[in-house]
Amino acid sequence: MKEKLIVALDVSTRQEALGLVEQLWDSVGAFKIGMQLYNSEGPDIIRDIQALGGKVFVDLKFHDIPNTVCQTSRVITRREAFMFSIHASGGVEMMTKSASAVREVSGQLEIPKPLVIAITVLTSISQEVFEKEVGISRPIEDQVVNWAKLAQQAGLDGVVASPQEIRAIRNACGNDFVIVTPGVRPLWATANDQKRVMTPKEAVKQGATYLVVGRPITAQQNPGEAARKIVEEMEEAFDA
């Protein structure tokens, strides 16, 4: 079950990031590098984490014209990322070209193909914000499922979506489609800026493939203990 847990390294320095990796590499499945850490330390942080035995999810949410995202996908593949993200709202052509580039490069280099997943609707966005500020007048779940189906059509491996959309995505895209779920908060943690949240047990029970957890682990005095408590909560989904 620990392989399903991805820790978000939402820190600004190499020292902080590697300190967390050293404490957690044998307790979790992978580490997520977002814009904060990547822009602070550059791409070498990927290699540094890998050198300590950690798999890396590069979560930079690429969103640009198809050719730019395609070429960027080639770069990330050569860095042997375990997973990386692009925006579903970039369209089918952008997603298709990215997926094709990843297959081509990983085949040429004979390296494991990274999972390419599409961002749907950020977990910080509520239905009210979605309608009044984003300007999409439909239920978030409907839009998430639509983007998930387009991502699958384009050849991507899965999507990032809040726990509340897991079941609908599973029904639309099947059991082999990867669902990466942020917005997961154990019972003993606060929601922070997340709006559409669920506990680890609930998310696994709904059918999440991977859970992304940051502050409930990284902000604790003993991150390793916090990670093990979350894995225990996840395991309860199968014990019930």
Q: Which residues are part of a known binding site for substrate? A: 10, 32, 59-68, 123, 185, 194, 214-215
> Which listed residue (4, 55, 59, 201) is catalytic?
59
The radius of gyration of the chain's CA atoms, rounded to the nearest angstrom, is 17
Do residues 152 and 177 make contact, with C-beta atoms less than 8 angstroms apart? Answer: yes
> Which listed residue (2, 44, 48, 61) is catalytic?
61
Do residues 198 and 183 make contact, with C-beta atoms less than 8 angstroms apart? Answer: yes
Q: Which residues are part of a known binding site? A: 10, 32, 59-68, 123, 185, 194, 214-215
> Which listed residue (64, 113, 149, 195) is catalytic?
64
61 is catalytic: yes
178 three-class SS: strand
59 is catalytic: yes
| Angle, CA 228 vertex, CA 224 and CA 229 arms, to 5° | 115
DSSP string for residues in 181-201: E--B--TTS--TT-SS-B-HH
Residues marked as catalytic? 59, 61, 64
